[in-house]
Structure formats: C-alpha cells, structure tokens
Amino acid sequence: MTPAEPVYFVHISDTHFGPTPGYSRHGHVAMACAEELVTIINRLPVRPDFVVHTGDVVTNPDPAGYLLAAQTFARLNVPIYYVNGNHDRAVDLHHFLPMGPKTDLLDSRECLVYRFDVKGCRFLVLDGRGPDEIDPQGILTDEQLALVRQEAEGDGPPLCVFIHYPALPLNAPWMDANMRLINWAAFHQALRPAGARLRGVFHGHVHQNMQTVRDGILYVAVASTFSQFAAWPSDVQVRMDPDHLPGYNFVHLLPEQTIIHQHTFPRPG
C-alpha cells in the first residue's frame, strides 16, 4: 500500500535543554539553538505534517528543563511527537510535553510506546531506554519486539519507526561499543517482514547525520539541534566535532520513494 498523498515531517533530536535558558553543554547554549530551529521550521516553504523529536529533550530529567522545552516547542505551528531518550524519563515526557493525536500501546507511564497515522501512513514510536546500569546503551523489551513484529507483518500501510538508539553498527568504535541497542539484531529481524512498505527507521543519540542500509531497511540518524559528536572509524573515544553545525532533516514520504533533506543552521550568537 502506498500513501494517497505525500507526507512531510521534520526530524529533530538531542536538544538537551537544561534548567535555565542559558544552560550550556559542549560549549554551546542548547535552548537558543532550539528556539532558532522552531523559528526555521515555522518559516519553511513547505509546511510539514508534524515534527518528531527522537529523544534527549533534556540533559537531566528535571521539571525546569522540560518546562523550557514545552514552552519552546509550543511555538510550533504543527504537531510534535517525542521519543524517550537516555537522558529523558518517559513519565516526564507524558506529563510535561503535549503531543499530537496518538494511540498509546502500553498501559505503563514508565514507557513511551505509541503509534499514530497521517494520510494513510503508520508511525510507530518505541522506547529503548533500559535500566541505568546499561546507559547509554538501550534495549527493547520483549513486549515491544512483539509490537514491532505485529506492525511489520507483510500487509499494511507504509510504516516508519522512531526510536532514540541506533541499531546497526556505525563503524565508529566508541559508538558501536556504547550507543546501540543491546538487542539490535532481534529488532532488525523483527522489521524485515515489512519489506518495501517500511519507509525508514529514524533515530537520534549519535549527534550526527548518518544513513545506514541493511537488508533493504533504511536507518536514518539526524544531527543534534546544537552540537555534534565525531564518528570516524578512527574515533575510539568520544569527542565533539567542532566543524559540524546544528541541524535537522526534512523527510518526504512520497508514493514510490523516501527523500531526506539534511539541513544545518548557524548557532545563534
């Protein structure tokens, strides 16, 4: 099945709001960049159907940071959806951050798992945050893997999956050792029956634009809204990439193909 008309969405991630507007991380003021990005999105020449934030809304899960995030993203002129990141807590995302229409798939407020439909396309949001002792790696529960298998059956609408953590190896030693889903192989295998109707798996966490294809499945990471990690095959320890600007992706889901435009913008100030 193909969408009856194009679906457009903006993919953002890793805003890392702090408790004050002037909070700085990695040498950059996070909130100022998020505010600039909201202005940019509202002025895009093509209005997106929604914005998706793939996690790490805040750096520390405190009310002050979430309230600043809610205040900032309330300025968007389209709905926004959130994914639970390793710096977030699902209960706080439920409580502090309004989202567009959706169907929650688990009863617990300790997990943020839901789906929503736009113009005939299905969007599935998963929560890979595990116990603190495995952070910054993630893991999907058996219950979520069962939901993935159900959504990825052969017949159904065009499907996109949103999660915070990368699944596949990224050929950056420190990322592959520390940042992925622990049960990534089971997740990948659960997706395979969807075939061509799976339009992409979109994630954050790595603070970089990356695209990876395996067994015909497209995995897409987006740049952080304020600061990027280095991810070369020679990077055995985490370090920042001072040359890469904040960014976002504009995604086109067309009847026969998926197009991803990568954008950057200057840091305010």
**DSSP symbols for 220-255:** EE---SS--B---TT--S--B-TTPPPEEEEEEE-S
Residue 95 phi/psi, 5° resolution? -80, -45
- Residue 203: which pLDDT band, with cuts at 50, 70 and 90? very high
- Residue-wise pLDDT for 40-68, tens only, equals 999 999 999 999 999 999 999 999 999 99
Answer yes or no: is pLDDT of 4 > 80: no
Residues facing residue 24 across a β-bridge:
29
Is residue 238, in this structure, part of any structural domain at all? yes
Domain count, the chain: 1
Is residue 100, in this structure, part of any structural domain at all? yes
Smallest CA-to-CA distance from 231 within 259, 204, 210, 200 is with: 210
Residues 191-204, mean pLDDT to the nearest whole number: 97
Percent of the chain with pLDDT over 70: 99
Domain limits at 209? 7-264
Is residue 269, in this structure, part of any structural domain at all? no
Is residue 1, in this structure, part of any structural domain at all? no
Exposed/middle/buried for 100, CB within 10 Å: 0-12, 13-18, 19+?
middle
pLDDT of residue 243: 83
Answer yes or no: is pLDDT of 112 > 90: yes
How far is it, in rounded angstroms, from Cα 58 to Cα 32? Answer: 14
Neighbour count for residue 266 (Cβ, 10 Å):
9
Is residue 97, in this structure, part of any structural domain at all? yes
pLDDT of residue 44: 98
Is residue 47, in this structure, part of any structural domain at all? yes
CATH of the domain at 252: 3.60.21.10
Residues 102-110, mean pLDDT to the nearest whole number: 95
How far is it, in rounded angstroms, from Cα 169 to Cα 149? Answer: 22
Is residue 57, in this structure, part of any structural domain at all? yes
- Residue-wise pLDDT for 223-268, tens only, equals 999 999 999 999 999 999 988 899 999 999 999 999 999 999 999 9
Is residue 133, in this structure, part of any structural domain at all? yes
Answer yes or no: is pLDDT of 1 > 60: no
CA-atom Rg of the chain in angstroms: 17
Residues 201-211, mean pLDDT to the nearest whole number: 97
Residue 90's H or E segment, with its range, is helix 90-96
Residues facing residue 122 across a β-bridge:
117, 159
Answer yes or no: is pLDDT of 2 > 90: no
- Residue-wise pLDDT for 149-165, tens only, equals 999 998 899 999 999 99
Answer yes or no: is pLDDT of 29 > 70: yes
Neighbour count for residue 247 (Cβ, 10 Å):
23
Report whether 246 contacts 224 (CB < 8 A). yes
